[in-house]
Amino acid sequence: MANHGQKVKMGMVGGGPGAFIGAVHRMAAILDHKIELVCGAFSSDAEKSKQCGSELGLDESRVYESYGQMFEMESKLPAQKRMKFVSIVTPNHLHFPIAKMAMEYGFEVVCDKPLAFNMKEANDLEKISKQTGRSFCVTYNYTGYPMVKQAREMIRIGKIGKIRRVVVEYLQGWLATDLEASGQKQASWRTDPSRAGVAGCIGDIGSHAENIITYITGLEISEICADLTKFVQDRKLDDDGNILLRFQNGAKGVMLASQISVGEENDLVIKVYGEKGSVYWKQTEPNTLIVKWLNDATEIFRTSGNSVLASAAHNTRLPVGHPEGFIEAFANLYRNFASTIHARSQGFEPEPQNLDFPGLADGIRGMAFIEAVIKSSNQNSQWVHLSEKR
């Protein structure tokens, strides 16, 4: 990307004190010198928002009291100065109104996952995006890792043959106790149906698991059979789920998602088995991809290492053996998205490799998945078709 000395300007909604993911978005956004954070409405508490803006070195005049104010004021600024896109890092129930308003004001949108509070909102966002012509990125950030892209590309070009079996685990232990009772900010809203939506664990991390399956395999889930549980007393949403999967091509699979698995950190693992080979990737050691073969020795691919394919290389910053982590993977989404909207705003065709970021289709499919899982679990694990859901 040649941006000729001009960074793409970003605003943020949410991400005030105590909001882990907001800080990640900000670090990810600026990492490559392509994006500049110029404004924000970081908290519903104006004082906290101000403090946050100050710590980030923002111009006071561009730290807003509300997202509504932000969109209005920014839209009045000269094009050279005003924000180009907004990053939405609030709890789920606010994604829709903010994203809607942002697009209506003409801003492009980066929004955390799950896309919306429910299916209807998700579908509406797609309509608004089409009407307004705004670009949209949903931060399914795990697809940003180079070795995830390596896996996807190897599968796409047929290396492991027709896929038969997919296993995804996404295990955490941080909600093994009733952390929400302590007032911890992350736990509070993620276990609260009025802010998180119909699903807890499945919405928070199951949705990532669904997305990485589809991204890597290129397959769509056709049916699911789910058994969700609330292990922690008085919790209002699921904190654990086991889900059988069937795919359109006849493949089978399993998804395990849990936030009460004591000792697990952020253990997202995917294994895909084809007729000729299989791939294994694990987020906590993200720079390694293990590929096993029917008749040959197992191979290990490494970020920036030998035999790495173009899509992985494009999303890598360092030589092999210099670990890239969560922030760098996240930054790949921002860089690809920013490059794309920059090109579009200049009237150029975006480079194909920069179109590689998750969008509204991913977000909508994710919502359909969540709702199907809830339905199946409520029906004592009957199979539910995903296609019926949209």
Residue 242 binds a copy of itself, judged by CB under 8 A: yes
Q: Give whichever of 182 and 380 is closer to a copy of itself, judged by the CB atom.
A: 380
Among residues 180, 182, 181, 234, the alpha carbon closest in space to that of 204 is found at: 180
Residue 278 binds a copy of itself, judged by CB under 8 A: yes
Beta bridge partners of 221: 247
Q: Judged by CB under 8 A, which of 48, 292, 314, 344 binds a copy of itself?
A: 292
CA of 345: how far to CAs of 67, 133, 340, in Å?
23, 12, 9
Residue 365 binds a copy of itself, judged by CB under 8 A: no
Residue 321 binds a copy of itself, judged by CB under 8 A: yes
Segment interacting with a copy of itself, rule: CB under 8 A, options 38-46, 50-58, 127-135, 214-222 = 50-58
Q: Which residues ranging from 73 to 112 are in contact with a copy of itself (CB under 8 A)?
A: none
Angle, alpha carbons 101-102-107 (nearest 5°): 150
Q: Which residues ranging from 175 to 214 are in contact with a copy of itself (CB under 8 A)?
A: 176-177
Segment interacting with a copy of itself, rule: CB under 8 A, options 99-107, 117-125, 211-219, 325-333 = 325-333
| Rounded Cα–Cα distance for residues 179 and 238 (Å) | 14
Residue 276 binds a copy of itself, judged by CB under 8 A: yes
Among residues 264, 256, 91, the alpha carbon closest in space to that of 176 is found at: 264
236-268 in b/e form (b: 16+ CB < 10 A) is ebbbbbbbbbbbeeebebebbbbbbbeebeebb
Segment interacting with a copy of itself, rule: CB under 8 A, options 91-99, 114-122, 189-197, 273-281 = 273-281
CB of 185 to a copy of itself, least distance (A): 12
94-100's contacts with Cβ under 8 Å and 24+ in sequence apart are 94/13, 94/14, 95/121, 96/121, 96/124, 96/125, 98/13, 98/67, 99/125, 99/128, 99/136, 100/124, 100/125, 100/128
Segment interacting with a copy of itself, rule: CB under 8 A, options 48-56, 98-106, 110-118, 333-341 = 48-56
Residue 300 binds a copy of itself, judged by CB under 8 A: yes
Q: Judged by CB under 8 A, which of 5, 78, 183, 347 binds a copy of itself?
A: 5
Residue 157 binds a copy of itself, judged by CB under 8 A: no
Residue 167 binds a copy of itself, judged by CB under 8 A: yes
Backbone angles phi, psi at 355, to 5 degrees: -80, 0
CB of 122 to a copy of itself, least distance (A): 26
| Rounded Cα–Cα distance for residues 189 and 194 (Å) | 8
* Structure tokens given for 72: 């209005």
CB of 42 to a copy of itself, least distance (A): 13
CB of 97 to a copy of itself, least distance (A): 28
